[in-house]
């Protein structure tokens, strides 16, 4: 009899109809679920939020849909328009809600548990700051991609099981909608980032173009000045042969790899190549890899601003081996993207000149240069002669250097005595023109007479290095003839 009475009482309770507040929530949630069927994602979200807003039309009762990636908060304003703001919820909220019944996390339940679970306090504080009543997770293949947040407003009774289930159905319906919206938002973000990079690259190109200048006459005069050291003392067979080889590479228009001895003027030879090419009227752009990350980006980014700046001209790349391997590979990709300017597709724009210290095969073998870069220059290599291989040029180089040093010192032009010249010819010049300039600069500062003497060289600290015994006979004969 007692059991029958208990069952009767329980049945009465279960059969009790929902209160007005619960009915209003259930009705709004179910209508929001129906409106979420609209084909256009943003329209579906706006319509669903507008229906949920009927639970409490006041601004403080406004529902929200939170998107996880990218972090966005969607709501409807008083006029019914969809509002999208940036925002991110604590990751802990997703972890906790994922294990709650119907994936719905209730603020009143958290408030009860926080005494025993201090790790929940951050989530509870975040919910309280937004006057949240509950949040229901939206999943995509068991992975949370967002949630529906309903506010406390005037709600005074706990969430019922029927309401929780209705919210879970709504969240399932919103899953595909929110997935599409998130994908579109990510695509838009990537588009904006790409646009920003493109605009930055364009601005960099304009800046560099302004530095170089658009006056062709002035540009050519500057390049001629750069090229002068490679031409001013080309009397030896080695120097003449190197100049002719560089000029042939210039005519081909495919670029070159200049193997430059230490201390030699690489830019002079690169400028000479540019002036002898079909691109002589274009810009000569110099990219020194040791200049930092801006130069790295100019060579390796997809937009390749330095290559674009040199379009129709020549790009000289100094210290390419200092570029990290990954960036060298990206530079090689940009080399492949260059346009060709002849029917055979063999003349590239811009012409690219690499400056290296060793032949390409050795540089690739020791791991300092990517083979994907080297292959563009494998048949366009020019090994420049060291100063020791062109003793016939030493007198002209010495007089030219002394003339420039005399002007810098504000004195009459200096010559050089035969004894001093013999000392210079005897020296092998391991650091080439750079060392020669340093030695003659010190001697010019110490010289008392109209010409630099052997004594001036000795007082400046110059000591000729003994020639190696294995020097070839033709080289010794050439030196002997010069001494006479």
* Structure confidence at residue 375 (pLDDT): 92
Instruction: Give the tens place of pLDDT for each residue, 74-95.
Output: 999 888 899 989 999 999 999 9
Is residue 174 packed enough to be buried (19+ CB in 10 Å), middle (13-18) or exposed (0-12)? Answer: buried
Average pLDDT of the segment spanning 332-348: 75
Instruction: Give the tens place of pLDDT for each residue, 304-326.
Output: 899 999 888 899 999 999 999 99
Instruction: Give the tens place of pLDDT for each residue, 121-145.
Output: 999 999 999 999 999 999 988 899 9
CATH number of this structure's domain 216-385, picked from the four choices 3.40.50.300, 3.20.20.450, 3.30.565.10, 3.40.309.10: 3.40.50.300
Instruction: Give the tens place of pLDDT for each residue, 192-217.
Output: 888 888 888 888 877 776 665 555 66
Q: Would you place residue 427 in the very low, low, confident or very high pLDDT band (cuts 50, 70, 90)? A: very high
> Is 395 a residue whose pLDDT tops 70?
yes
Portion of the chain with pLDDT greater than 70, in percent: 88
The 3 state secondary structure assigned to the chain is: CHHHHHHHHHHHHHCCCCCHHHHHHHHHHHHHHHHCCCCCHHHHHHHHHHHHHHHCCCHHHCCEEEECCCCEEEEECCCCCEEEEECCCCHHHHHHHCCCHHHEEEHHHHHHHCCCCHHHHHHHHHHHHCCEEEEEEEEECCEEEEEEEEECCCCCCCCCHHHHHHHHHHHHHHHHHHHHHHHHHHHHHHHHHHHHHHHHHHHHHHHHHHHHCCCHHHHHHHHHHHHHHHHCCCCCHHHHHHHHHHHHHHHHCCCEEEECCCCCCHHHHHHHHHHCCCCCCCCEEEEEHHHCHHHHHHHHCCCCHHHHHCCCCEEEEECHHHCCHHHHHHHHHHHHCCEECCCCCCCEECEEEEEECCCHHHHHHCCCCCHHHHCCCCCCEEECCCHHHCHHHHHHHHHHHHHHHHHHHCCCCCEECHHHHHHHHHCCCCCHHHHHHHHHHHHHHHCCCCEECHHHHHHCCCCCCCCCCCCCHHHHHHHHHHHC
d(CA 171, CA 148): 7
Evaluate whether the domain defined by 388-483 bears CATH number 1.10.8.60.
Answer: yes
More confident residue, 184 or 102: 102
* Structure confidence at residue 76 (pLDDT): 92
Average pLDDT of the segment spanning 175-186: 80
* Structure confidence at residue 230 (pLDDT): 86
> Is 298 a residue whose pLDDT tops 80?
yes
> Is 100 a residue whose pLDDT tops 60?
yes
* Structure confidence at residue 56 (pLDDT): 84
* Structure confidence at residue 115 (pLDDT): 78
Flag the least confident range among 182-196, 261-275, 394-408.
182-196
Long-range contacts of 442-448, Cβ-Cβ distance < 8 Å, separation of 24 or more: 444/402, 444/405, 444/406, 444/409, 444/414, 445/405, 445/409, 447/414
The pair phi, psi for residue 76, each rounded to 5°, is -115, 140
* Structure confidence at residue 104 (pLDDT): 94
More confident residue, 20 or 389: 389
Q: Would you place residue 482 in the very low, low, confident or very high pLDDT band (cuts 50, 70, 90)? A: very low
Task: Confirm if 227 and 348 have CB atoms less than 8 A apart.
Answer: no
Instruction: Give the tens place of pLDDT for each residue, 4-45.
Output: 333 333 344 334 455 666 788 899 999 999 998 888 888 999
> Is 402 a residue whose pLDDT tops 50?
yes
> Is 434 a residue whose pLDDT tops 70?
yes
d(CA 121, CA 373): 57
**CATH code assigned to 18-186:** 3.30.450.40
* Structure confidence at residue 9 (pLDDT): 34
- Sign of dihedral through CA atoms 236, 239, 243, 248? positive
Round the average pLDDT of the chain to a whole number and report it.
Answer: 85
> Is 439 a residue whose pLDDT tops 80?
yes
The model's pTM: 0.53
Average pLDDT of the segment spanning 142-150: 93
More confident residue, 370 or 217: 370
Flag the least confident range among 202-206, 225-229, 352-356.
202-206
> Is 64 a residue whose pLDDT tops 70?
yes
Portion of the chain with pLDDT greater than 90, in percent: 52
* Structure confidence at residue 282 (pLDDT): 87
* Structure confidence at residue 10 (pLDDT): 37
* Structure confidence at residue 474 (pLDDT): 54
Per-domain residue ranges of the chain:
18-186, 216-385, 388-483
More confident residue, 261 or 7: 261
* Structure confidence at residue 211 (pLDDT): 63
């Amino acid at each position: 009899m007692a059991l029958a009475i208990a069952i009767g009482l329980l049945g009465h309770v279960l059969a009790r109809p929902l209160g007005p507040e619960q009915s209003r929530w259930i009705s709004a949630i179910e209508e929001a679920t129906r409106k979420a069927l609209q084909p256009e994602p943003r329209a579906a979200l706006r319509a669903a939020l507008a229906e949920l807003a009927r639970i409490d039309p006041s601004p403080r009762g406004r529902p929200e849909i939170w998107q996880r990636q990218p972090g966005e908060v969607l709501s409807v304003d008083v006029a019914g328009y969809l509002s999208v703001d940036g925002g991110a919820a604590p990751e802990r909220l997703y972890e906790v809600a994922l294990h709650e019944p119907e994936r719905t996390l209730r603020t009143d339940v958290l408030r009860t548990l926080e005494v025993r679970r201090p790790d929940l306090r951050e989530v509870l504080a975040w919910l309280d700051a937004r006057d949240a009543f509950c949040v229901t997770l939206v999943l995509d293949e068991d992975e949370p991609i967002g949630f529906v947040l309903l506010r406390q407003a005037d709600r005074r009774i706990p969430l019922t099981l029927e309401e929780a289930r209705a919210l879970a159905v709504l969240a399932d319906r919103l899953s595909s909608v929110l997935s599409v919206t998130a994908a579109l938002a990510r695509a838009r973000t990537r588009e904006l980032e790409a646009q920003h990079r493109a605009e930055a690259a364009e601005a960099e190109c304009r800046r560099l173009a302004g530095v170089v200048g658009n006056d062709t006459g002035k540009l050519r005069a500057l390049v001629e000045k750069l090229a002068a050291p490679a031409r001013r003392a080309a009397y030896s067979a080695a120097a003449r042969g190197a100049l002719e080889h560089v000029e042939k590479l210039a005519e081909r228009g495919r670029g070159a790899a200049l193997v430059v001895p230490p201390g030699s003027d690489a830019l002079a030879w690169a400028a000479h190549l540019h002036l002898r090419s079909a691109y002589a009227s274009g810009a000569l752009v110099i990219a020194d890899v040791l200049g930092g990350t801006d130069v790295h980006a100019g060579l390796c980014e997809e937009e390749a601003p330095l290559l674009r700046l040199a379009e129709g001209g020549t790009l000289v790349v100094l210290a390419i081996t200092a570029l990290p391997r990954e960036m060298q590979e990206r530079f090689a990709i940009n080399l492949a993207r260059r346009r060709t300017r002849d029917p055979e597709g063999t003349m590239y724009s811009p012409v690219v000149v690499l400056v290296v210290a060793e032949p390409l095969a050795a540089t690739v073998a020791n791991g300092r240069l990517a083979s994907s870069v080297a292959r563009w220059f494998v048949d366009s290599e020019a090994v420049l002669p060291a100063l020791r291989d062109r003793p016939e040029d030493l007198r002209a180089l010495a007089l030219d250097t002394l003339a420039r040093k005399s002007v810098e010192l504000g004195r009459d032009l200096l010559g050089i005595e035969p004894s001093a010249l013999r000392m210079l010819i005897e020296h092998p010049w391991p650091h080439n023109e750079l060392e020669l300039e340093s030695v003659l600069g010190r001697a010019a500062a110490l010289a008392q007479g109209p010409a630099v003497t052997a004594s001036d060289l000795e007082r400046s600290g110059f000591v000729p290095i003994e020639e190696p015994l294995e020097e070839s006979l033709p080289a010794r004969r050439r030196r002997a003839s010069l001494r006479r």
